[in-house]
A and B are shown apart, each in its own frame.
Chain A
Amino acid sequence: MEKQQRVRGQRLVAIFIVGCLLFNYPLLQLFSVNNIIGGIPVLYIYVFTAWLALIILMALIIERRDKK
């Protein structure tokens, strides 16, 4: 139990670090192109997808049942 919690915390920190990298220079600049894909600007697709992915990962980490 104790260990599970610790692993969970470490994974969340990893999410934080990944998130900091995703939403920052230079990755942002890579997607900051004047173009649309499927009718949506590339930058918006990137930011919202990454955002949602982070949230889903966080939910998975939090909600995963502790192994008995």
Chain B
Amino acid sequence: MLQGGVVLLVSFLYIGLLFAIAYYGDKRADAGRSLISNPYIYALSLGVYCTAWTFYGSVGRAARTGIDFLPIYLGPTLMAALWWFVLRKMIRISKLNRITSIADFIASRYGKSSALAGLVTVIAVVGITPYISLQLKAISNSFEVIWHQSKIIGTAAPTIASDTAFYIALLLAAFAILFGTRHLDATEHHEGLVVAIAFESVVKLLTFLAVGIFVTYGLYDGVTDLSSRAFADPELTALFTARDAYTDWAWFTFLSMMAILFLPRQFHIAVVENVNEQHLNKAIWLFPLYLLAINLFVIPIALGGLLHFPNEAVDPDTFVLLLPMAEGQELLALLVFLGGLSAATSMVIVATIALTTMISNDLIMPVLLRWQWLELAKRDDLGGLILTIRRLSIIIILMLSYYYFRLIGNTQPLVSIGLVSFAAVAQFAPAILGGIYWKGGSRLGALVGLSLGFMVWGYTLPLPALAEANLLPASFITAGPFGITLLKPYQLFGLQGVNPISHAMLWSMMVNLGGYVIVSLLSQPRVLEHRQATLFVDVFELDSENGTAKFWRGSATIDSLRSLLSRFLDPKRVSDMFTDYAKARGFDWTKDIIADADLVDFVEKQLAGVIGAASARVMVSSVVKEESLSMEEVMDILDETSQVIAHSRELEQKSETLEAASVELRTANEQLKELDSMKDDFISTVTHELRTPLTSIRAFSEILSDNPDLEIEQRSQFSAIILKESERLTRLINQVLDLSKIESGQMEWIMSEVDLRAIISETVISTDRLFQDQNIELILDLPGQVPPVMADRDRIIQVLLNLISNAIKFCATENGQVEIWLQNYGDILQVDVIDNGTGIHPDDQEVIFEKFRQVGDTLTEKPQGTGLGLPICRHIIDHFNGKLWVESNPGSGSTFSFTLPIKNEV
């Protein structure tokens, strides 16, 4: 028989031990030899998930519905596999942005919104307070059981003055105040607290395993014995199968998955108190292992209890304690009691600290800073004010929880109250998960989603619970408010057949997620939201330097920033902070007076660690003459964007130009290649053309010199050939020289007024013999008088000679006829040289003006000219701004025409 005094003494001693451990942890941290810088302490401290609900409630639920208690632990196991991505990202984001609570996290993501921070805080406080009171209830109940040996709980609640839970609550408040609000720190690490929580995790696991082993192997003959006995009882075998409620199972798994991430105490331990991201790796499998271990004996204890107290009205939530007591194992019972106490206290302590951080940073400070700005501005020591607020809110939360526990009493089992809290924090899921993976999520969307989800949650879970506790009329549940059956809180819109929790989750998640997504898609996010969204979603892509994208575009003096920080933090630490910063950035405080954007950002981050992102922004804005978010700045940002666009357009254009140029180049290259081959052709042609007459000359000269006794007749014939070929050679060389002179622009032009008519007459006279030799009729058609043209007389003669000799050459062999016309067209004179020869095929009419391109088969027929005459003529006429062309129909002769502009009388 345990004496009440002993129990009381032991429990106070236990809490005293916690104080000592936490104190030691803090000392070690101050000395720089941290106890928590290892993954095992981190994984153990995550065990704060297992509360009195786990310790007492799981057995109770297992005794009622069998395996149904398990999804609450399977969910976190599954989520642990995703921690690798999700939790790691949350930790990284929080470290970079100095986030110290879940409200801060959400507010910071959506543009440091004070409204969101406040809303999240309210949801957390309303959702978690019952959960804290559940722990107090568990402590109170366990006291009653162990002290008064009563098997039936709640028949006569003790008065407050005689209720041990009340004093425990006060003690826990003291603990939270001492180790949770010892000083203000930008990192918000409480090493002593974490060590104490890890210790409590060990205590609750070991004591639960102890009672499990005792029941299974002490009271009964192992698991097999227990199961077979239970199997013999038809009522108990119902516990061996899953009730056909797989929807509830799935919802509970989902709920616990969300809870392990978003419960304020889990967030605090897993994210805020995390000192090293690497610790997470081990926790991924150690923490589920912890959960497995602590659940191993739940079923055996439940079965043992059911078998041991077969027909007694015993609350199964107390089996853990009652079984050893019934067997007279008082020491074990005392240990179990301590285990339950550790489970409850760890939750209460961390949850309270997490909530008070939110209340002070995200609810009270923003309001104070706005409403009483003038009064606050006068205070130098705002840090003290914050600590006071936190200490007061710790006491208030614990007293509220205690009050709630007295109010609700014993109407609900432990598990149900816990699940209601889980459902509350699950409302954070869309805003947080959406926030870290979807840049499109907006502040308005988060506000709408959270509000809707919270309202539906409140209507479908806590309100009917109040009715069950007779604080509201029972008709609220049975008939709906004002008798509207569609609005029955457990059967909203007629949805039936699911557990109240699943029912509430279904509706709240639908409106929450729906509201969040739809409003986000419809709303226009602000600039700051954009920036924060990028910081959160792309946190792994940003290096530590860019992780602090500069958003402050205003200016502030360094002094004002320093004094701002000093109002919240110890001035000496602020001074150290600035010195370190200066060292790292190469700043000279004596020279630089104006803080740059980096420094302002740095100060804001430090401040955010103390008072939350939203408040920090308000504070820093008060000091920084900020121009950001002004129309001008926005325009600047837009301008930058449009400049980028302009640049890209320019680039596009340039690449187009380049492409065009490269096409031109390619054509030029082709032309060059053609020219090159033409040059080769030209040289080989010239060589060929030169060799032909040379060969003749040489051959005939050799004949003449080898045969001195050649007949005179033959001799003169050969001499004539040699002469002719020499002339041809000279002509050819002259033409090649002419051509190269003209083409290289070295030709000397002797320009003078030229009378074309006179020139034509002269030329015809000089070629008269040719006509007679070939027996060709010449018809001249010249006007009496023509105005002069500006040209080189000799060159014009050259052209005429060329055209006339060509005409003679290609004239019809019989009845040959050449006509030469001169016409005055007012501003030009045109000369036509017309023959009646075979004509030129249209395909060849341009070819003949190219060098060495004679029409006809040059291989078989002896060339009749040099192939340079017409090209030279064209060059000459071109030089005088005239035109030279040919018109011809095969079979009916050709007309070569050229024009020359008439000299304008000035």
Contact = CB atoms under 8 A, between A and B. Distances in A.
A32 B70 CA distance: 14
Given A29-B246, A36-B228, A55 B285 contact: yes
Contacts of B45: none
Given A19-B77, A51-B77, A43 B242 contact: yes
A6 to B, nearest CB: 10
Contacts of A34: 237, 240-241
A40 B67 CA distance: 13
A32 B292 contact: no
B224 A9 contact: no
Nearest to A60: B285
A52 B250 CA distance: 20
A23 B241 CA distance: 14
A48 B77 CA distance: 12
A52 B288 CA distance: 9
Q: Select the residue from A33, A34, A44 with max chain B CB neighbours within 10 A.
A: A44
Nearest to B281: A62
Contact of A43 (B67, B284, B288): B67
B284 A25 contact: no
Interface in B206-232: 222-225, 227-228, 231
Interface stretch (B81-89, B112-120, B480-488): B81-89
B292 A44 contact: no
Interface string B432-463: 00000000000000000000000000000000
Contacts of B292: 48, 51-52, 55
B96 interface: no
Contacts of A9: 84-85
A58 B246 contact: no
B78 A62 contact: no
B264 interface: no
B837 interface: no
Contacts of A63: 285
Given A16-B78, A58-B288, A28 B71 contact: no
A36 B679 CA distance: 103
B81 A40 contact: no
Interface in B241-299: 241-242, 244, 246, 249-250, 253, 281-282, 284-285, 288-289, 292, 296, 299
B289 to A, nearest CB: 5
B288 A24 contact: no
B284 A23 contact: no
Nearest to B242: A32
B81 A19 contact: yes
Contact of B84 (A12, A20, A28, A47): A12
A55 B228 CA distance: 29
B623 interface: no
Interface string B389-415: 000000000000000000000000000
A25 B288 CA distance: 22
B227 A36 contact: yes
Interface string A42-68: 111001100110110011001100000
B519 interface: no
Interface string B74-100: 100111111011000000000000000
B70 A25 contact: no
Q: Select the residue from A9, A23, A42 with max chain B CB neighbours within 10 A.
A: A23
A55 B289 contact: yes
A65 to B, nearest CB: 12
Contacts of A58: 80-81, 284-285, 288
Interface string B622-642: 000000000000000000000
A24 to B, nearest CB: 6
A57 B237 CA distance: 32
A57 B228 CA distance: 32
A52 B291 CA distance: 11
A64 B82 CA distance: 18
Nearest to B228: A39
Contact of A23 (B74, B80, B85): B74
Q: Select the residue from B81, B85, B241, B249 with max chain A CB neighbours within 10 A.
A: B81
Q: Select the residue from B67, B228, B241, B244 with max chain A CB neighbours within 10 A.
A: B241
Interface string B361-372: 000000000000
A63 B284 CA distance: 10
Contacts of B240: 34-36, 41-44
B67 A23 contact: no
B140 to A, nearest CB: 32
Contacts of A38: 224
Nearest to B296: A48
A28 B513 CA distance: 29
Given A15-B81, A62-B282, A32 B241 contact: yes
Contacts of B244: 29
A13 B285 CA distance: 14
B250 A25 contact: yes
A29 B242 CA distance: 7
A21 B783 CA distance: 110
A23 B78 contact: yes
A44 B227 CA distance: 11
A28 B246 contact: yes
Contacts of B288: 51, 54-55, 58
A41 B81 contact: no
A31 B105 CA distance: 42
Contacts of A39: 222-225, 227-228
A39 B288 CA distance: 26
A3 B242 CA distance: 42
B223 A33 contact: no
B803 to A, nearest CB: 82
B430 to A, nearest CB: 19
Given A39-B224, A58-B285, A19 B242 contact: no
B285 A59 contact: yes
Q: Which 10 A-B pairs have the closest CB atoms?
A: A39-B224, A25-B246, A41-B240, A59-B285, A16-B81, A58-B285, A32-B242, A32-B241, A15-B81, A19-B78
Interface of B: 67, 70-71, 74, 77-82, 84-85, 222-225, 227-228, 231, 237, 240-242, 244, 246, 249-250, 253, 281-282, 284-285, 288-289, 292, 296, 299
Interface of A: 8-9, 12-13, 15-16, 19-20, 23-25, 28-29, 32-36, 38-44, 47-48, 51-52, 54-55, 58-59, 62-63
14 contacts: A13-B81, A19-B77, A24-B246, A29-B242, A33-B241, A42-B240, A43-B240, A44-B299, A47-B67, A54-B77, A55-B288, A58-B81, A58-B284, A62-B281
Given A41-B241, A43-B241, A62-B284, 8 more contacts: A19-B74, A19-B81, A36-B228, A40-B227, A41-B240, A42-B240, A54-B81, A63-B285
